[in-house]
Every structure is written in C-alpha cells, then in structure tokens.
Structure 1
Amino acid sequence: MTITRIGTGQRMSKIVKHNGTAYLCGQVGDGATVADQTRDCLSRVDALLAEAGSDRTRILQAIVWLADMGDFAEMNAVWDAWVPEGHAPARACGEARLARDTLKVEVIVTAACD
C-alpha cells in the first residue's frame, strides 16, 4: 500500500494519504478572538482538503482543541456555519494547552480522499 506525504518537513507532514484517507496535521488560525481563529483555521483546512483531493463533505473525523472550554459556543457558531448540512463528521472537542499562548483553537481533520 502506498503512503503519500505532502508538505513534509523534519517534524511532520501537512497531509498524509493512505488507502483513500487523508490525515491533516493540526491547523491553527490567526486573529484576536476564537471566532476569528476558527474561521482562519477552517479556511486552512479547506485548502489542505483540496490539495488532498477532498472537501469538507468528506470529513470523517475532526478533533477540536480549545485553550479554554469557555469558548465552546463561540467556536461552535463558526463550525456549524462551515460544516455542510448533512455532512457533520464524528467530532471530539476538549481543552488543551496549545503550542503558543496566543492560540485559542486547533483543529485536526481526517477525511476520505481520491
């Protein structure tokens, strides 16, 4: 079986494709609020999905990390507008200390791909 790595550096690949599945590295976004960061982060997910031969209707699973679960509703407002109706993936959301103090949200996606 073939494993394809896209955007590979020393530490990680942006995308790993195997057996019709694309695994995206965690995405974070820019902005002052969790809504701003979520929108930017999901825009980055869209770009990686397209590069992998997929799109948001083919997302199988998403893991969302928030720096503060108090931001859950604000993040969900952006998430709910982004996910196409009828295509909600399996999803988990938890609180975690993120890589930088300014980060409020990180999203990890697994999707079906060509």
Structure 2
Amino acid sequence: MSIQRIQTNQRMSRIVIHNKTVYLCGQVCADATKGIKEQTQTMLDKVDALLIEAGSSRENILSATVYIKDMQYFKEMNEVWDAWVPEGYAPARACVEAAMARPELLVEVSVVAAQKD
C-alpha cells in the first residue's frame, strides 16, 4: 500500500492520501485579524482547495474536528459551517474549545475525506 504526501515540509504534509482516504493537516484562516465568520469562511475555502487537489470534495468528507478558541464563537462559526456543508452530506464532527498556536486565531479544522470514485 502506498502513501502519497502532498505539500510536504520538515514538519508536516498538508495532504496525505492512503487507501483512497484523504487526511488534511489543520487549516486556519487566511487573515487572523478578521472575526470568527471571516476566519471560518477562509479556513473552509482552504479545505475546499486541498480537497480538490486530493481528488475529493465537501461531499466526500468523512469526519471533521473543529477547534475553537472560545465557545462564545460557536454559534457564529456554525452559521458559516452549516452554509458550507452540502445538504445531506454532513460529516461526523467534533467541536472542542482549544488553545490556538497564535492568540489571534479563533478557529481551526482538521478533515478526513474519501477520494472520489
């Protein structure tokens, strides 16, 4: 069985594919000076781009773990999330409050998906 690593550096690979399963490293926003809705949207835009590169899509997401700096942002983050997930394709998901790598980051997501057939 082969393991394909894409966009790899010393610390991590942004995408790892094994047995038609896609693993994405944690994704954060494009601009950490923005609010939770903007951070969530640009984070999910990055997920979209990586899934396409890996031969997958939102409809193929198996699970997602959302890390949120403070649960006060939960409702607003979910408004963006709910609009992004295609109806009928919600993945298994966990959302946990977590300390972020940088104080200005409000949300991060880690995704596992299947490749398209």
Find the residue that maps to 2:111 and give its secondary structure. Answer: strand
1:89 corresponds to which residue?
91
2:2 corresponds to which residue?
2
Structure 1 residue 97: Cα displacement: 0.4
- Residue number among 79, 82, 87 corresponding to 2:81 in the alignment: 79
Aligned length: 114
Alignment of 1:1-114 (within 5 A): 1-29=1-29, 30=31, 31-114=33-116
Percentage of matched positions with identical amino acids: 61
Tell me which amino acid in the other structure corresponds to 1:20: K
Q: d(CA) in 2 for partners of 1:64 and 1:92?
A: 6
Q: d(CA) in 2 for partners of 1:25 and 1:89?
A: 17
Q: d(CA) in 1 for partners of 2:36 and 2:67?
A: 11
After superposition, the CA RMSD in angstroms is 0.7
Structure 1: which 5+ residue stretches go unaligned? none
Structure 1 residue 32: Cα displacement: 1.4
Q: d(CA) in 1 for partners of 2:115 and 2:56?
A: 5
Tell me which amino acid in the other structure corresponds to 2:21: T
Structure 1 residue 59: Cα displacement: 0.1
Q: d(CA) in 2 for partners of 1:33 and 1:68?
A: 13
Structure 2: which 5+ residue stretches go unaligned? none
